[in-house]
Amino acid sequence: MEKIRWFWVWVIASLIFRLVFIYFPNDFILGSRAEIATPLTSLRRLAEGYWLKQSSMSPYAGSMYHGSPLLLSLLGPLTVLGTNGQPSYLLCSLLFVVADFVTAVLIRETGWKLQMAYSDRLKSLNLDKVLESSDILPAGDIASLIYLWNPLTIVTCLGLSTSPIENLMVVLSLYGACSGLAPLTAFGWVTASHLSLYPSLLVIPVIFLLGYGPESPPRKLYLQKTASSNGNNPVLGDHFFSWRPVIYFLLWATIWSSYFLFLCSISLKQYGGLPEMFKRTYGFILTVEDLSPNIGVLWYFFAEVFEFFRDFFLIVIHLNILFMILPLAIRLNHRPCFLAFVYIAIFSMLKSYPSSGDPALYLALVGLFVNELADMKFSFFLFCGYVGVALLSPVMHNLWIWRGTGNANFYFATAMGYACLQIILVVDSVSAMLQHDRMLQKLSRAQS
C-alpha cells in the first residue's frame, strides 16, 4: 500500500508540473522546435489546415497540413482564435496532459499483466529460483513513471505536438492485446496506423500477443520440460497459438478501417476525397517531400543526394525497415511485447519525420523489461548519450539557424549520434533479452 501511495503521488506531481508550465507564454516557443514538432505532428500546422477548411478550401492546400482529416476535425475546433486574435492552444495542451496520464496508466496495467504472466509461466516450469533471486520489481510502475517524468515526454506535451495522441493509441493497442480485447486492440492499432502509418508494422507483435498471450519463456523450455517428464505437461497446451482472438482482431480491424475511411471520405468529399488524403498524408511520408531539419537523418541525406537516385534510395530505406521485421519476429515471437518495443525503436530511427515523442514512448517501454534487461552492458553509456544529444541538439540548431556561426553539419552530427544511440539500444537490449532466455534454459537443464 505504501508503494502504491507513493506511485500516485509521483503521478499527480507530474501532472501538476505540466499544468504549471502550460500557463507560461514562453512555452509556446517549443512548438517551433525542430526536435518536437514535425510536418505531421505540429499543432500549428493543424490550426492552419483547420483555418483553410473553414475558409472553404482544401486543408491540404499549400504545404502546411499533412495529417489525418479526423484529427483535424477533433483538434481543429480547439484551436479557435482567442481574445487577443491569436489561436488558443490551451484546450489542446490540457488534452495532451490527459493523453499522457491515460498512456501512463495503460503502460502500468500492461506491465502488471506482463509480470503476472511471466511469473505464472516460470512457476509452472518450476523455475521459482528466478523469481526469488531477481526480486522482481513492479516493472509497470517503473515504466509508467519513466514515461511521465521523461523530459522528452514533457517537452512533447508542452510543445504543441500531436505525438501524445499517437503514443496513446499505440499503448492502447498493446494493452488491448495483453488483455485479449480484440475490439480495443483493433481500434488502437488502426487509429495509430491511420495517424502515422509506421505503427501498422506492429500488427505482427499484436497478433503474437493475441495468439500466444503475454510474455512467456522460450518455447524450447516447454519442449525440454515435456521431454524430461514422463507425463503430460499442463502448461504446454496453453502455449499453443490460438487463432480465434486473431481472427476477431482482423475482423474488427477491417471494421474500424472501413469506418475511418468512410469518415475521411465524407470530410474530404469536396476536396479530392480519399485519393487526395493518401497522396497528402501517406504519400508525403513515403516520398520525404519536406526536407526541414529534424532529429532524423533522412532530411540531410535527401538534401545531398542526386535527384536521379532519389527514388532508388527511397525504396532502399523503406525496405530496410521491412527486411528486419521477419528475422526479429522469428527470434522474439515468444516475447511479443518486447518485439513491439524493438519495432517502435527501429521505425523511430528510420522514419521520415521523427520527433521527441518517439523516444519518449520506446524509452518508457524499456521499463517494462527492467528485470530481464538488468544485464545490459551499455545502459550507463546510453543514458549519458541521450542526455548529451538532448542538450546539444538545440545548441547546434541555434548556432546554425540563428547565430550563423555553424552549418548544417553541426546539427546533423547530433542526429547521427542520436541514430547510433538507438542502434546500440536495440542491439544491447535484444542481446540482454536473449541472454536472459539462455539463463532460463541453463536453469531448466540443471533441474532436469
Domain range list for the chain: 2-447
Asked whether residue 87 carries a pLDDT value surpassing 70, the answer given is no
Q: How confident is the model at residue 204 (pLDDT cuts 50, 70, 90)?
A: very high
Long-range Cβ pairs for the range 248-256 (8 Å, 24+): 248/182, 248/183, 249/177, 249/182, 249/185, 249/186, 249/206, 249/207, 249/210, 251/182, 252/182, 252/183, 252/185, 252/186, 252/187, 253/186, 253/189, 253/190, 255/186, 256/186, 256/187, 256/190, 256/191
Residue 252 corresponds to which cell in the numbers above?
474488427
Average pLDDT of 191-220?
A: 86
Q: Is 160 left (phi over 0), alpha (psi -120 to 50) or beta?
A: left
267 in Cβ contact with 386 (< 8 Å): no
Euclidean distance between CA atoms 95 and 18, whole angstroms: 12
Single-letter residue type at 31:
G
Residue 208: partners with Cβ closer than 8 Å, 6 or more residues away:
329, 333, 336, 339
Q: How confident is the model at residue 137 (pLDDT cuts 50, 70, 90)?
A: low
Residue 119: partners with Cβ closer than 8 Å, 6 or more residues away:
131, 136
Compute how many other C-beta atoms are within 10 angstroms of the C-beta atom of residue 348. 20
Strand blocks (E) in 299-370: none
Dihedral pair phi/psi, residue 87, rounded to 5°: -60, 140
Residue 127 corresponds to which cell in the numbers above?
523455475
The more confident residue out of 27 and 359 is 359
Q: Specify the pLDDT at position 237.
A: 44
Percentage of the chain lying above the pLDDT 70 cut: 88
Asked whether residue 63 carries a pLDDT value surpassing 90, the answer given is no
Helix (H), strand (E) at residue 434 = helix 408-447
Asked whether residue 408 carries a pLDDT value surpassing 70, the answer given is yes
CA-based nearest residue to 149, from 9, 43, 353, 34: 9
Query: pLDDT tens digits for 72-85?
Result: 888 888 887 655 55
Residue 214: partners with Cβ closer than 8 Å, 6 or more residues away:
113, 114, 116, 117, 118, 178, 336, 337
Q: Specify the pLDDT at position 234.
A: 46
Q: Specify the pLDDT at position 216.
A: 62
Helix (H), strand (E) at residue 417 = helix 408-447
Query: pLDDT tens digits for 369-404?
Result: 988 888 899 999 999 999 999 999 999 988 898 887
Asked whether residue 86 carries a pLDDT value surpassing 60, the answer given is no
The radius of gyration computed from the CA coordinates of the chain, to the nearest angstrom, equals 23
Query: Which residue shows C-alpha cell 541555434?
Result: 398
Count of CA atoms in the C-beta half-sphere (13 A) of 303: 14
Average pLDDT of 267-281?
A: 88
Q: Is 35 helix (H, G, I), strand (E, B) or coil?
A: coil
Compute how many other C-beta atoms are within 10 angstroms of the C-beta atom of residue 96. 26
Query: pLDDT tens digits for 108-135?
Result: 999 999 888 888 777 776 766 665 554 4
142 in Cβ contact with 104 (< 8 Å): no
